[in-house]
A and B are shown apart, each in its own frame.
Chain A
Amino acid sequence: MPQQVGNGSAAWRRLLRPGTGGDTSGASWLVLLLFLGPALLVFGAMTAYPMVRTICDSFFTIDDPDKPIWVGLANYVTLAGDGTFRRAVVNTLIWSVAAPVLDVGVGLLLALCLYAKVPFTRFLRVAWFTPVLLSYVVVAIVWLWLYNYDWGIVNVLFRAIGLGGLASAWLGNPHLALGSLIFIDVWKWAGFNMVVCLAAIHSLPSEVLEAAELDNCGWGGKLRFVIVPMLRPTLLNLYILAFVAKMKVFDLVWIMTQGGPLWSTETVSTYVYKRAFAWNTFDLGYPAAIASVWFGVVIVTVLLLNRLLRSRERVEF
């Protein structure tokens, strides 16, 4: 059955308003409950309720858990003037917007390479996927060694090829630290994007690709005018996934630089964690205010994404 690619808007409207499967005369409440109930229960108890609680906390100063002190909007006022928070927001946004482009781009290129029927495809597929499998603790340990100024392979290679001047303290330089961390993130996730892109390419209708071949499109032309447009929904979906993950990044930064040097790698999640766990205080009100503001930012972002993708196609696997 050919995939519905690039169809008219009627099909999409149908997709955007589900209920075309099962019973169109309205599903029985019992069925809905059994399907959706467990998920909503878990979500409500473990995600929604803590979030509401956090928002409530933000209006208090909670040095003593039994005696919260109402402070109204004081936490938010302080937050508005908090330079570290501003820095953290900027860093997180840079990361979330720039890194996915690299992630998905590299993934796509790799998938194309594999699609071009190179030898050892299966081995390469596994080899390129291994970084995805490693935990952030492991990745941090390994890359701390790789970035080591004296004997890390990055600097060793630079010195070996005569570019010793480029050997730097990658995580010690405020101008390089964020980029170095983003580099690691791309290294880790490109393989995942590659696998998904590869599957998507494989599921493209072969007739179109053959037609392009017959039309004597070179690889460049095929790429630009046929493959990428057809992959657009997949690519967009991968971008969203990557964006979403980067907005939350914590482990990698915390283990490697804890937000330093000079707050150049401070992200919103590390700052929240610092204020809640490493700030000489038990107060939860201020970190809760940060959390609430960030939640607001997230909602706005999601709305924007939703608008951007109103006409997007569903993900193809």
Chain B
Amino acid sequence: MLSRAFSRGGLMAILVAYTAFAGFPFLWVGTMSLRTTTEIAYNHYGWPSPAHWAKFRTAWIDSAFNTYFANSAAVVIGSVAVITLVGSAAAHCLARYRFPGNRLIYFILFSSIILPPQIVLIAVYQTLVEYNLYDTLWGLGLVYVSLQLPLTIYLLEGFFARIPQDLFDAAKVDGYGDFEIFFRLVLPVGMPAIATTVILNFILLWNEFLFAVVLIADDDLRTLPVGIQRFMGDHFQDIGMIATGVMISVLPVVVVYAFFSEKLIQGMTAGAVK
């Protein structure tokens, strides 16, 4: 009994400690986003009083965050949509169809996941220029798709291959064709995996920095991470403003996660009650 309570208490202590560890930096940036730099320099860890909500407005308008935000949203949402569709189609094909070269393609895709993107940065840049896609959001979106596609295919292929054969047999008996099987069987059943890849891709691409810096030169087309970096450069010592900018850039990702994670957990826990 005592050991139970003790281990329970110990568990709680660990939980609190880890929550502080994981959440503190985020919370700290949140508080700093509502204080001015002078206040922060005076006491780095104080609580905002008064809370300067106007700073959010300033950061949003003065620093063209609305433009950066819109650009990021357009590129990332578009890329993730394309990746999800193209990736799941390819994953389904690799998982379920037998044809010569299947494993070879799978192997090549898998090995390209480990490639550091810096290696192909210049060559990718040259390719975009040749096709007149340099300095366009279309070009950047295309690059983003190519960045995340191998990983998505790898993850989805693993899941799709686990879908029990019986479901497919039943569908075939019902007279479903290849595409109907894909859209009405594989996609719904594979929703947890797809949701996971959507979250992962969204997070990684929303925060992608290197290609955005090199492939976009026009200020009106910049994406959010570059905007934050620029913001930092403009306000080299303005910790308060930087924190505000950081908060603005993080919020949409939190929203997307909150929305999709419910679906994800639902899907996963539903799978357990079969």
Contacts and interface: CB of A to CB of B under 8 A. Distances in A.
B164 interface: yes
Given A269-B116, A314-B162, A135 B90 contact: no
A167 interface: no
Contacts of A51: 112, 115, 119-120, 123
A237 B239 CA distance: 39
B250 A133 contact: yes
B149 A135 contact: no
Residue from A17, A124, A195, A317 whose CB has the most chain B CB atoms within 10 Å: A317
Contact of A39 (B153, B155, B257, B267): B153
B262 to A, nearest CB: 10
Contacts of B111: 298-299, 302
A138 B168 CA distance: 45
Contact of A137 (B110, B120, B209): B209
The secondary-structure label for the interface of chain A is: helix
Given A27-B178, A317-B159, A22 B168 contact: yes
Given A19-B102, A42-B149, A54-B120, A302 B258 contact: no
Interface pairs A-B: 4 shortest CB-CB: A19-B98, A135-B207, A21-B96, A50-B123
A136 B127 CA distance: 27
Nearest to A292: B119
A48 B115 CA distance: 11
A21 B168 contact: yes
A46 B93 contact: no
Interface string A288-317: 001100110011011000100000001111
Interface in B110-147: 110-124, 126-127, 142-143, 145-146
B69 interface: no
Given A47-B112, A130-B254, A133-B257, A2 B274 contact: yes
B178 A36 contact: no
14 contacts: A21-B97, A36-B94, A39-B90, A43-B112, A116-B11, A118-B15, A133-B250, A134-B26, A137-B225, A153-B24, A203-B272, A269-B117, A272-B116, A302-B114
A143 B165 contact: no
Contact of A118 (B11, B87, B155, B242): B11
Contacts of B182: 35
A31 interface: yes
A109 to B, nearest CB: 9
Interface residues on B, range: 35 or more
A19 B98 CA distance: 4
B269 interface: yes
Contacts, number: 278
A57 B120 CA distance: 11
B80 interface: no
Contacts of B98: 17-20, 24, 26-27
A165 B77 CA distance: 49
A23 interface: yes
B252 to A, nearest CB: 10
B26 A244 contact: no
B63 interface: no
A191 B249 CA distance: 20
B interface majority secondary structure: helix
A39 B253 contact: no
Contacts of A153: 24, 28, 45
B249 A27 contact: no
Contact of A142 (B18, B25, B179, B268): B25
Nearest to B24: A153
B250 A138 contact: yes
A95 interface: no
A128 B19 contact: yes
B114 A237 contact: no
B264 interface: yes
Nearest to A237: B158
Contact of A20 (B96, B108, B257): B96
A301 B112 CA distance: 12
B192 A317 contact: yes
B246 interface: yes
B73 interface: no
B152 to A, nearest CB: 9
Nearest to A57: B123
A158 interface: no
A128 B70 CA distance: 28
B21 interface: yes
Interface in B164-199: 164-165, 168, 178-179, 181-182, 192-193, 196
Contacts of A42: 86, 142, 145-146, 149
